[in-house]
Amino acid sequence: MSIQPEDAGSPMLDRTKHEYHVFLQRGSEMRMSDGILLNTWEDLDSMTLKALREDESFGSVPIYAVGPFVRPVEPSASRSNLLDWLDEQPSESVIYISFGSVGFLSAQQITELAFGLELSQQRFIWVLRPPSKKKNMPVKRHVLGDKGNDALDYLPDGFLTRTQGLGLVVTQWAPQVDILSHPSTGGFLSHCGWNSTLESILNGVPLLAWPLYAEQSMNAILLSEKLGVAVSPKVAPTRGVVGREEIEMLVRKVMGDQEEGKALRARVMELKVSGEKALIEGGSSFNAMSQFAKQCEIKLLRN
């Protein structure tokens, strides 16, 4: 995989910052633990797990891959109208767009994303937040754009009218797990946070990777280059504005019936099944959790 130094988690890029030293301290403290539990499974993350287990700095600390753990779909007294809208759409025809609770785009990038969606003519649900003032740089700390805190004001003129019936723009919370598990959802334009990544895979939904901060760039590379369940822009969204034509092309790749789209869907379904098998009796994560439980029992008896 072609991971570059700048793809590392943002706290690791500046040695003068407090966060850098906190990360180093936490890393060194792992060597003193009795075990490390990771929310992944052997088939998904074999290279990472192998590297951790062979790293001498961890010594003999066992690494347990015990996932995937994701939020379940829970029945609710009031069903979201987004799900009612999804009920009316064809199977696997809707791309869901969300950048998490602390991911923000520039105003220029919101404009390009809107035009890209419109050009693609794909159905969509877009969770939209007001942009950051920081040009071209999605940031964790939100600084409002020049038009205030109404996210809809940052959309191109006429966008909502032209896409009426084609998609929905949501400015409040959206039930992500329910949306990803809905049969009408066929793609996820995601910031590639680990929870969102697992939720997408476990629901058999391929991704359009759009990393913004933390370890998300590394996740995006894993998803697109190694696992084959995602497509990515040529230039990382944190390094420049992704244009509307490229967005149109990427959306069509994920949602279309061409060979690349079919391959993405086939591969993500393979990993979905693999993740489910890992958790059942005899699966790799089931066995890892059993080993961890036995080690805990031994420790307790010794004490």
Domain-embedded: residue 185: yes
Q: Does one domain contain both 115 and 243? A: yes
What is the number of domains present in the chain?
A: 2
Domain-embedded: residue 268: no
Which of 219, 222, 174 minimizes the C-alpha distance to 195?
219
Backbone φ and ψ for 101, nearest 5 degrees, come out as -80, -15
Asked whether residue 144 carries a pLDDT value surpassing 60, the answer given is no
Q: Does one domain contain both 41 and 137? A: no
Report the DSSP pairing between strands 230-231 and 167-170: unpaired
CA torsion sign for 153, 154, 160, 161 is positive
Domain-embedded: residue 276: no
Asked whether residue 30 carries a pLDDT value surpassing 80, the answer given is yes
CATH number at residue 216: 3.40.50.2000
Angle between helices 259-279 and 244-255 (to 10 degrees): 60
Whether the full predicted model's pTM is greater than 0.85, yes or no, is: yes
Q: Does one domain contain both 210 and 254? A: yes
Question: For residue 1, what pLDDT is reported?
Answer: 60
Domain-embedded: residue 298: yes
Provide the domain limits for residue 135. Answer: 81-261
DSSP letters for 112-175: HHHHHHHHHT-EEEEE--PPBSSTT---SS--B-TT-S-GGGGSPTTHHHHTTTTEEEE-S---
Q: Does one domain contain both 239 and 131? A: yes
Q: Does one domain contain both 37 and 93? A: no
Q: Does one domain contain both 175 and 231? A: yes
Domain-embedded: residue 267: no
- Where residue 4 falls among pLDDT bands split at 50, 70, 90? confident
Q: Does one domain contain both 231 and 90? A: yes
Q: Does one domain contain both 172 and 231? A: yes
Q: Does one domain contain both 121 and 93? A: yes
- Where residue 146 falls among pLDDT bands split at 50, 70, 90? low
Q: Does one domain contain both 39 and 144? A: no
Find the helix or strand (DSSP H, E) in which 186 lies: strand 185-190
pLDDT tens track for 104-125: 999 999 999 999 999 999 999 9
Question: Tokens in use for 272?
Answer: 């979905």
Question: Tokens in use for 81?
Answer: 């109208």
Find the helix or strand (DSSP H, E) in which 278 lies: helix 259-279
Question: Tokens in use for 256?
Answer: 């279309």
Q: Does one domain contain both 16 and 132? A: no
Q: Does one domain contain both 244 and 112? A: yes
